[in-house]
Each structure stands twice: as C-alpha cells, then as structure tokens.
Chain A
Amino acid sequence: MIESLELNTKSEKEDYNILNLGPTHPATHGVFQNILKMDGEIIHETTSTIGYIHRAFEKIAEHKPFYQITTLTDRLNYCSSPINNMGWHMTVEKLLGVETPKRVDYMRVIIMEFARIADHLVCNSIIGADTGALTGFTYVFQWREKIYDIFEEVCGARLTTNIGRIGGMERDFSPACMKKMHDFLNDFPKYFDEFTLLLERNRIFMERNIGVGPISAERALNYGFTGPNLRAAGVDYDVRVMNPYSSYQDFDFMIPLGTQGDTYDRFVVRQHEIRESLKIIKQALNNIPEGKFFADVPDFFLPPKEEVYNNMEALIFHFKIVMGEATVPVGEVYHSVEGGNGELGFYMVSDGGRTPYRLHFRRPCFVAYQAYPEMIKGSMLSDAILTMSSMNVIAGELDA
C-alpha cells in the first residue's frame, strides 16, 4: 500500500509542477497562501491555507464589554468597517430591545452606503489594476479618500472607524460633514462615469474578464455565497431587501444581477451597486428626519460631558458604561447586515453577564473563499489572481 502511494506521488511529481503562491505575494492583496498543482500553466489542483492573521476575535470578545467589541469588528472587513460597526450595534440593540429613532436609522444608512461605495471602489479598481489597467485605480482612489474624510468628520478615524455607538451615533452630522457629503454626491458621479467608460465596455477589459472564474448559481448557493458574488451568479438575495434593518425599507433601490457568475459579472454588479448606493444616500440625505441622534438607552449610550460633570445620574451612568457594568437580558440573537462582500452575521449568546457568553461572526469571505479551488480549476495562473481579486476576499474578515 505504502509503496504504491510512493509510486503514485513520484509519477505525479513528473507530471505536475507545484507552485507556492503566497502568503506574501503582492498579487494576492493580503496574506493568502495557495499551493497550486500546475500542468504547464493550467491549474490542476489548489490547496488554500488561511489563518495567517488570525487574531482570536471571538475569544477576545468573550472577555470584553459590549462597547469595546466594536473595535474588534472594525478589523474584520477593514475596507468597509462602518458596516461591521453598525451591524454589531444593531445586534446589541436587538438583544436589548431598543428602538432607534428614524434619524439614527437614516444616518446609519448614509454611513453604511458610503462604506459600501468605498469597498466596491477598492475591489473594482483592483480588478482593473490586476488586468493591467492601472489608470482607473488612480481615478477612483482619491474618492475613497474623500469618503474617509467624511468618516473622519463623523467619528475622527478613517480606516478602523469605531463609528456610532450602541443606541445611536456619537454625534450629529456637523455642517462641515454635510457639505462634504453633498460635495461628494455632486462631484463623484462625473469621475465614476469616467472610470466606467475606461473599463466597463472596454473590449480589452471584457475579453480579459468574461468567463474567468465562473460559478453557477447552484454551486454558489451550495457554497454559501452571499452579496455581490452571489448576485453575479444570478440569485437576488440581498439582506437589505429580504430582512430590512435600519429602515432600508424606506428607500427605493434596485438589486443588480449578473448571469454568468464570472469575474466580469462580479465587476459589473459592483459597478451598479455603487450607483444604487448613491441613490440611497441621496434619498436619505433629502428625507433625513429631525430629532435625536441616539435612542434612550442610558445604560449604553454615554451622556454628554457637561451632564457628567453637573448631574449625578449622568455621572453614575458614565461610570457604569466605562466600567462595563450594564445589565443585559439573557438570550440569543442572530442579526445580519449586508456587508461589502455579503451577509455579515452576528450570532450572540448572552448569559446576562457583562460580556457575551459566545459571539460568532458569520464572515462572508470565509464562507465564500472555500469555493476558490473549484472556481480556478482548469484556468491559468493569471486568471486565478483575477478571480481572487474579483471575489474581494479581505484577509481580516477571512481569518477573524
């Protein structure tokens, strides 16, 4: 038995080349290792190794009070961390049974859609860069910076935002922030059109991308795909529509769908989602209701500083929040939001203590990336790189 096995590997060694792609290869945009068994330039078999930046967030979360877990969620999908932050806040609010005011919902929608635009811009411009069209990348990346300027205006941070609080937002949109958002909505579409003209119907780009890394709708569903990757395969599943959260039902927007599930479809679906996100932001900004920017949850939402200094109750709540003394109900809750790459779920079991008993992140990248070997089987090495960037696998989310 052992002898025949050795013979088998020996003959395979003669036929195939083993290529180690990663973990620090510049073309993989993150820490991914794939060991490719190659027949010439055709990929025969792939073994993925992940976990290079595993940081044990789920374990750490079991030892942190609720408001400190927000900073952990920042580092999941760091291209669109506000969505993760908001998803976490909404999970806790669901557990506590908190109703947020409409203004909070609209503010969250605006921030989340800006984050989605930033996420998709990164992914799509990188697809361009990987196909050799670096120009588009330089066109849109300044707009990602402008989105980060908006985040900075709201929360003070750019990449790992820690934006919002349990129960609402930390502060209202300032006039400067409003101006930046309106400027973005006025100026960005022109540049984005230019980016679209450069790539979307560019014959060279299309020839390069169509048919690369395809997956059928059945396989995509079976592999647990969600988000743009699933919609490119033709399944209209979007958490924003199926289980609306944060008042998404108030907005009028379309869910773009692909047909082939290949790299080009994933690219086009993301392109159109950016336009839909712009539509949502416009509606939200035009109809944003007046009112408070936080819900009435004194156990979780920090009181204003002048209250803390002059009012005993506020001081007590401030102390209780900072020391993580707030009481929570016993229960378990699953809440999901439509992240940049798909359904980002939070499954939390609470035993009434100051920390979650168990917190599991349903990371869309982690679930989808296991289809990668199947998607690139039989394709060329350069196609494998392209497939990976079009799936928008983010190492932080993959490894948690």
Chain B
Amino acid sequence: MVQIDNQYILTELQDKFGERIYNSYEPYGLLTIELDKNSIKEVLQFLYNHKELQMQFLTDVCGIHYPQIVGKELGVVYHVHSLINNIRLRIKCFMPIENPAIDSATFLFSSANWQERETFDFYGIIFIGHPNLKRILNADEMDYFPMRKEYPLEDGTRTDKDDSYFGR
C-alpha cells in the first residue's frame, strides 16, 4: 500500500503528462495544478481510473477571470475528491478570452452538467461536448457574461435612472 499524499499525486501526474502540467503549488495544503486545457479529459479520466487514487467524485466546477493576464484571461477550476483516500485535488485550466473553449467533463461526471452550464452562464466558457449548454440561472436573452470583471455592480448612487417606484 503506497502512501497517498500530494507528492504521490503530483509524481503520478507528472510521469504521465509531463510538460502538459504547467505549474503546481499547495495553497493551504490542497494540491493545485495548472494544466494544459486540451488535456483535461485525459487527466480526469486518468485520475478516475487510477487504481490507487480513484478520484471519482467531482466536487466543484467554477470559472474565474483575470483580465490582466493576457492569453490566460479565463479559467476553469475543478475540485476533484478521492473519497477512498480522502484527498482532494484542484485543477486549473486557463484559456484566452477570444476563444474560451474546453472539453466538457460530462462524459465522466453527470454532476458536471449543471456546474458547467453555470460556468458558461457567468463566464461564457464553451464546454465542447456538453449535451445542453445554455444559460441556467440568468435569463436566456442575456447577451453578456455577468461575472466577468469588466461588469461592475450597479452604482447605488446613480441618478440617471428614473425608477421612482423603487425609491431611487
């Protein structure tokens, strides 16, 4: 029985994927890897089928936006969890804002379905192979992606709105 810890996961991943793992760090003890976005399907499948790791639980998928990092503006953050070994892994994939597309994780995890729709809804990231990629929480007619950093919250003190019913 091997000792399953962050170092073991990282070694296994680096042996298999090598250069495609750009970076890795451990904020607050949770192993985080930055991954080439074209490899996400392979890596998730590898972690799922790995006979020691068995990372078969997708906890969370969410998007993130860094407008100042050119070429890597949009990111998808996955949290996968191995319930057998009780160890988590965070995977980050970054992509340019002109072509934000990444493979969908729905081929492996049914739970990715709505979580990816949510990410698409708020960040406009296209998940290739998703069965039903449309907005989930916002209105269908919306033509922008509200969680991107260029959209500020409405200024509460603005005066150009005639909305007397709401006391503004």
A residues near B (Cβ < 8 Å) are 50-51, 54, 56, 58-60, 63, 94-95, 219, 221-224, 235, 237, 242-243, 331-334, 336, 343, 345, 347, 349, 358, 360, 362, 366-367, 369-371, 399-400
Shortest distance from the beta carbon of A343 to any chain B beta carbon, whole Å: 7
- Shortest Cβ distance from A371 into B: residue: B110
Q: Which residues of B contact A343 (CB under 8 A)?
A: 59
A-B contact pairs, 26 of them (CB 8 A): A50-B136, A51-B136, A51-B138, A59-B146, A59-B153, A60-B153, A95-B28, A221-B83, A222-B110, A222-B111, A224-B110, A235-B83, A237-B83, A332-B32, A333-B30, A334-B30, A336-B59, A347-B79, A358-B64, A360-B62, A366-B114, A366-B115, A367-B114, A370-B111, A370-B113, A399-B137
Chain A residues within an 8 Å CB radius of B83: 221, 235, 237, 242
Number of residues from B at the complex interface, CB < 8 A: 33
For B30, the closest partner residue in chain A by CB is A334
CB <8 Å contact, B137 and A400: yes
Is B60 at the interface (CB under 8 A from chain A)? yes
Once A221-B57, A334-B30 are accepted as A-B contacts, the answer to whether A58 and B64 lie under 8 Å apart by CB is no
Residues of B within 8 A of A51 (CB): 136-139
CB-nearest residue of chain A to B92: A332
Q: Contacts A222-B111, A237-B83, A332-B32; is A63 near B137 (CB within 8 Å)?
A: no
Q: Is B9 an interface residue (CB 8 A)?
A: no
Q: Name B87-132 residues within 8 Å CB distance of A.
A: 88, 90, 109-111, 113-115, 118, 122
Does B39 make an interface contact (CB < 8 A)? Answer: no
Cβ-defined contact, B88 with A334, below 8 A: yes
**A334 contacts B86, C-beta separation under 8 Å:** no
Q: Are B60 and A360 in contact (CB under 8 A)?
A: yes
A51 to chain B, nearest CB (A): 4
B153 near A63 (CB under 8 angstroms)? yes
Given the interface pairs A58-B122, A370-B110, A371-B110, the reply to whether A347 lies near B28 with Cβ below 8 Å is no
B43 CB-CB contact with A under 8 Å? no
The answer to whether B77 has its CB under 8 Å from any CB of chain A is: yes
The proximity string for B residues 45-63 relative to A, scoring 1 for CB distances below 8 Å and 0 otherwise, is: 0000000000011111010
B137 and A347 form a contact (CB under 8 A): no
Q: Which residue of A lies closest to B112 (CB)?
A: A224
Output the nearest chain A residue to B139 by Cβ-Cβ distance. Answer: A51
B167 within 8 Å of A by Cβ? Answer: no
